Amino acid sequence: MIQAPVKKPLGQPTRGKTASNRLRRVDNFTLLYEPSLLTRTDNLFADSLFVDLGYGFDPRTTLESAERFRRVNPNLKILGVEIDRERVEAALPFADEKTFFRLGGFNLPLQTDETVRLVRAFNVLRQYEEQDFAPAYEQLAEYVLPGGLMIEGTSTPFGQIWSANLARRAENASWKMEALVFSTNFRLGLEAEEFQTILPKNYIHRVVEGEPIHDFFQAWKRSMAETSPAKTFGLKQWFIASAESLAKKGFDVDLHKKWLGRGWLIWYL
C-alpha cells in the first residue's frame, strides 16, 4: 500500500460524545437499505472502505459497525477518521489488518490506492454553520466511488431517534440527494416535532414557510392528527398510518412495512 502525503485535516473538532450502540439503528438501516453496497467486489469496490467520519472520543461506534457489517462481508475494510489527534491515538490499539484509525477531516486520509464505498458521518455537521455544509459535501465526494453512498445526519444521545440524508455519489464527482430518513424506536413517544430538532444541517434552519421541509412537517403533523385514533393499537401502527396519510398528500414516502414496521420513514427526494 502506497502512503499518501499527509494533509492538514479540514474541519474542526466536535464534542466527541458517544454511547454504546448509539448508531446501531443507523447500521441496521444501512444493511437493509443496500446490502450489496457492503458486499460488492467488482472493479474498484473490491477493496473499498467503509468510513466512519468523526467517531468521537473513543472508537466504539467504528468497532460496533465493523462487527455488524462484517457479518455480510468478513473482508470489509473499515476506516475510522477523527480530527482530534488524541482520539486517534486512543483508538490505535484497536486497529488491525482490516480496521484503521487515522487523523483526518473532510479531506479523508486515504492511501493512494484506497477507495470508499460508504461514508457515515453522524453528529458531525450539526456542530458546524450552515454555510459549511456544501463545502464539506463537495470535499467528501472526491473520495467516494460512483454509486457509493453517504449517510449523514444527527441522532439523540442514545440513538432512539435520528434523521439523515442519503446522498448518492454521481459520476461527475457530485452528490445526488436520494432521500431523507427519519428513524425512531418508539421509546420516546411519537411526535413529528421531535425530528425537527435533529434534522441534518441543510434542513434544520429551513423549517420556515416557503421551504419544502416546512411543507413536509406541516403535512406530517396534520397526518398524525388525522390518524391519531391508530394510537389505540400502539405507536408503531400510528407511525404507519401517518406515513400512509402523508403519501396520500403527495409525498413520496416508502410505504413498505419492512421500513415503517421498524420505525423508518423514508422520504424520497
Digit-coded pLDDT (tens) for 23-60: 999 999 999 999 999 999 999 999 999 999 999 999 99
What pLDDT does 19 receive? Answer: 85
Do 214 and 129 fall within a single domain?
A: no
Domain closes at, from 152, 184, 216: 184
What pLDDT does 6 receive? Answer: 53
Do 180 and 210 fall within a single domain?
A: no
- Summarised one tens digit per residue, pLDDT across range 242-265 is 999 999 999 999 999 999 999 999
Do 152 and 215 fall within a single domain?
A: no
Do 124 and 232 fall within a single domain?
A: no
Contact status, residue 37 vs residue 22, Cβ threshold 8 Å: no
Cα 33 to Cα 149: distance, rounded to the nearest angstrom: 11
- 3 is a domain residue: no
* CATH number where 154 lies: 3.40.50.150
- 86 is a domain residue: yes
- Summarised one tens digit per residue, pLDDT across range 51-88 is 999 999 999 999 999 999 999 999 999 999 999 999 99
- 191 is a domain residue: no
* Residues 6 or more apart whose Cβ sits within 8 Å of residue 89: none
Total domains in the fold of the chain: 2
Q: Is 98 exposed, middle or buried (0-12, 13-18, 19+ CB in 10 A)?
A: middle
Domain closes at, from 184, 215, 247: 184
Do 100 and 162 fall within a single domain?
A: yes
Is 1 a residue whose pLDDT tops 90?
Answer: no
Do 226 and 121 fall within a single domain?
A: no
Strand order in the sheet with 144-155: 99-103, 77-82, 49-53, 116-122, 144-155, 161-169, 175-184, 264-268
The amino acid at 231? K
Do 29 and 158 fall within a single domain?
A: yes
Do 54 and 123 fall within a single domain?
A: yes
* Residues 6 or more apart whose Cβ sits within 8 Å of residue 228: 238
Domain that holds residue 124: 24-184
Do 108 and 164 fall within a single domain?
A: yes
Domain closes at, from 184, 215, 234: 184
First-to-last CA distance in the chain?
A: 39
Do 83 and 211 fall within a single domain?
A: no
Do 261 and 176 fall within a single domain?
A: no
Do 92 and 134 fall within a single domain?
A: yes
Torsion of CA 79, 158, 192, 148, to 10 degrees: 10
